[in-house]
Amino acid sequence: MFNKRKKSEKRLSEPVTQKDNTTQVPQGINKKLSENIFVLQQKFGKSFDLIIKETQVNGVNIAFVALDGMYNGLHASQSVVEPILNLHYPCGDPKELYEHICRSRASECDSKEAITIDNAIEFILSGFVVLFVDEVTVCRAYSVQGYVKRSVEPPESESQENGSREGFVDMYKDNVTLVRRRLKSPYIRFETLSVGKTSNTQVCICYHAERADPVIVNNVTDRLKNADFDIVPGAGALRPFLEEKRLSFFTTVGTTERPDVFAAKLSEGRVGIIVDGTPYALIVPHLFIENFHSLDDYLNRPYYAAVTRFLKLICFFLAVFLPGTYVAVGTFHQEIFPSEIIADIVSSLQNTPFPLIIESAIIHFIYEIVREAGLRMPKPVGHTVSIVGALVIGDAAVSAGLISAPMLIIVAITAICSAVLPPLHEPSAVLRFIFIVLGGTMGLYGIMLGFTIIAADLCSMNSFGVPFTSPFSPLDGYALRDSFIFAGWKKVGKRFIQIQKLRGTHTDGTE
């Protein structure tokens, strides 16, 4: 069976054009310009967007190579092409000409030297205009990128009442600027590496050099370097490489769309990962409690922050446990219902054809379908789906006697509560079904057993050596000031918290 699986994997991942198995030596830049152009044309094939402009400057053959749409035409023309074409340096020696170009002209924009063809291709693919000079074994790449990109917009998934209206965008360099503007310290480091054999996605590792634990920084870098990828579709794809190698409902990698939140996390000694093409960033180490935090908590009055955080905690518990508990109580422990309403509940349950567990599973399943449809459909249609879903399920199903009215109330509460905590939507959606099954088969005993396993699972998790359940277990008195309560800036702001110094942390690489 395993052999079959391996064969299938090999068949699916085999490249169409067979490469020879000999180790590939980086191909240097040829002396002959025509050779270099030939190699580039071979590599890019019939791609229409490859632009190669051959010309002469003072009798020396040169060529500009770029990808259409990836560079800013005006900028390239004014800063690179025109100054070079208008150059008067009648020496006739190509090498001297190249040196002269590098030294004196076209220096308005940032430029880098490439010594291999692959290196040059990398620049071309990144939107640089690359200059090849005949008889010269290096080339010059000019940074005149200018592709279509989204401007800075308010973050959609993390909208706040009082916070900044700036959210991360797709371009990683823009995101770095957004963070730099908030942390004007030379100790903030942004190191890039390329991930993905085909996509060569730029991944930027950000940290505070004085506060971040070097072991964590190195660990993150190593894990990303060793990540076996072909393409990186988004930052989320890197998450499994940063998580512990285990199955769990919860993630130990945080995400944010907000540069202000990202900057605050860096200042606590965490490591951030910005991925080119993704409008949100990853943060490690990440704690469970952080799922209940939002920027507004820090900007509102502390007592209100405590109230909202407790509210979120209750919402999480309701979103996960309410349907299962209702099924458990309705099936096994009816005596818990207050005597005033027990008759109504029991009569409504008796009027429905399905057992409570099936009824609950069906209604939650339909709710998830409606939610998914509303999320994926174009916005105007999404609203229609919601209305139809609400009308059909809410009214018609109860009138038809398919679903009991109390169950509908339970679904509504669960749906609203799960919307309060977007970071925990995934685990709560799945756990809800598990607890429905546990509650329907073993009653409250099953719910409690499930809770114990979830608690043990959460407690066994570490995020880069930092206990996931910190600062509660292991208990850390000082860090509790910013947990389910927020003690206020006068107390919390005095000193900064370094994440790796939380109790129970062991960042020695053994998790």
Show the binding pattern over residues 407-446: x = contacts other proteins (CB under 8 A), - = does not.
-----------------------------------xxxxx
Q: Which one of 162, 230, 340, 350 is in contact with other proteins (CB under 8 A)?
A: 340
Closest approach, Cβ 1 to other proteins, in A, equals 22
Residue with tokens 């000082």: 478
User: 433 vs 451, which CB is nearer to other proteins?
Assistant: 451
- Within 182-258, residue ranges assigned H as helices are 214-225, 239-242
Residue 447 near other proteins by CB under 8 A: yes
Shorter beta-carbon distance to other proteins: residue 44 or 317: 317
Query: Rounded distance, CA 268 to CA 499, Å?
Result: 6
User: Is residue 50 a contact partner of residue 41, using CB atoms and an 8 Å limit?
Assistant: yes
Q: Which amino acid is at 284?
A: V
* Shortest Å distance, C-beta 274 to other proteins: 28
Residues forming a β-bridge with 207 = 189
Q: Is 459 in the site for other proteins (CB under 8 A)?
A: yes
474 near other proteins, rule: CB under 8 A: yes
Q: Which helix (H) or strand (E) holds 66?
A: strand 60-67
Rounded Cα gap, residues 201 and 193, in angstroms? 8
Which DSSP category does 26 fall into? Answer: P
Interaction of residue 477 with other proteins, rule CB under 8 A: no
CA distance 445 to 335: 15
Closer Cβ to other proteins, 244 or 268, answer by number: 244
* Contact status: 314 vs other proteins (CB under 8 A): no
Q: Which stretch binds other proteins (CB under 8 A): 21-29, 81-89, 173-181, 452-460?
A: 452-460
Site residues for other proteins, 222-261, by CB under 8 A, read 244-246
Question: For residues 420 and 319, what is the distance between their CA atoms, to the nearest angstrom?
Answer: 9
Q: If binding is defined by CB under 8 A, does position 453 make contact with other proteins?
A: yes
In degrees rounded to 5, what are phi and psi of residue 133? -120, 135
Residue 280: φ, ψ to 5°: -140, 155
Question: Contact region for other proteins (CB under 8 A) — 116-124, 132-140, 330-338, 409-417?
Answer: 330-338
Distance CA 157, CA 153 (A): 12
- The answer to whether 448 contacts other proteins (rule: CB under 8 A) is yes
Enumerate binding residues for other proteins (CB under 8 A): 244-246, 329, 332-333, 335-336, 338-340, 442-449, 451-453, 455-457, 459-460, 462, 467, 469, 472-475, 503-504, 506, 511
